[in-house]
Amino acid sequence: MITCEQTTTSDLAARYVAGQLDPQERNSFEEHYFDCARCFDEVQLQLSLQSAMKSAPVELRNPAAKKHVKTWVAWSAIAATVVVMASIGFWRLRIPSRAPQPVAAVAPAQPDPLELLARVEPPPYQTPALRGASPEPHFRSGMDQYRQANYAAAIDELSQADPRSPDVQFFLGVSYLLRNDADAAVSHLRATIALGDSLDVEPAHFYLAKAFVKRKDTASAMKELEAAVAIHGDYEKRSQELLDHLRPR
Ligand SMILES: [Zn+2]
């Protein structure tokens, strides 16, 4: 896990933009900044700086271009999330030419910014110590599969567990989301909210928002995030951050 402090002390954003992180570092850093407004902004800033430096020779040759470069830098500093994600995509397209592997015959499509924001970290599941009797067998084995990231098997087991259990509906919804089945995720996360269990409602709103982002329905996603923020619980900060990324600037 990368912290904001490491981002600063290890200069991660600059090295990320420069393509200097090894794949593992890059993945951890991406996982962090997709959910962290502060580090996301830092990446945005580094991209602006990088673009400005690339444009610098033009400026030296042609003073008239200076104004254009400045405008570009100012513009990119306030650019919408969409634009930044497109820039990251652009930067990634350039990687094959620097890496030792042969250049890909077909350039990969630019990543969809909403797809990046729809990325999901599976919420941890702790066996409840004080929540009633021991869980039923299908729920227990479903959650064993879930913990091992076998989401298809988790769905199989959880689908046979008690559908009136908010935990069953919640982890079914999340498992479908992790299998990229946004429609099934929406229906189970809505069912979770309808069951009204105080512990599950807030995360259900958050993951329902992720499912809507996956369906490219930002309006519905923002409604769910607002509902999550209003609960003022564990998901308030990350819900607010995702909301800030989705809100048109
Ligand atoms: Zn951070």
Model confidence pLDDT, tens digit, residues 9-67: 899 999 988 889 998 898 899 888 888 888 988 888 888 887 777 766 544 444 454 44
Give the Å distance between the CA of 127 and the centre of ligand 1. Answer: 29
The reply to whether 96 and 173 lie within a common domain is no
Average pLDDT over residues 173-179: 95
Other CB atoms closer than 10 Å to residue 92's CB: what's the count?
14
Task: Average the pLDDT over 152-175 and give the result.
Answer: 95
Mean pLDDT of all residues in 110-117: 67
* Residues 85, 146 within the same domain: no
With respect to residue 124, please indicate whether it lies within any of the assigned structural domains: no
Confidence class for position 164, pLDDT limits 50, 70, 90: very high
Mean pLDDT of the chain: 79
Q: What is the mean pLDDT of residues 170-174?
A: 96
pLDDT tens readout for residues 195-236: 988 789 999 999 999 999 999 899 999 999 999 999 999 999
Same domain, 84 and 169: no
Residues 93 and 170 in one domain: no
CA of 37 to the centre of ligand 1 (A): 7
148 and 217 assigned to the same domain: yes
**Average pLDDT for 115-128:** 79
Domain shared by 41 and 87, yes or no: yes
Q: How far is the CA of 33 from the centre of ligand 1 (A)?
A: 6
Separation between Cα atoms, residue 219 and residue 222, nearest integer Å: 5
Q: Are residues 161 and 226 in the same domain?
A: yes
Measured in angstroms, how far is the CA atom of residue 7 from the centroid of ligand 1? Answer: 7
Q: How far is the CA of 141 from the centre of ligand 1 (A)?
A: 35
Domain span holding position 82: 4-111
- pLDDT given at position 131: 55
Would 146 be classed as within a structural domain?
yes
Asked whether residue 132 is domain-assigned, the answer is no
Q: How many domains does the chain have?
A: 2
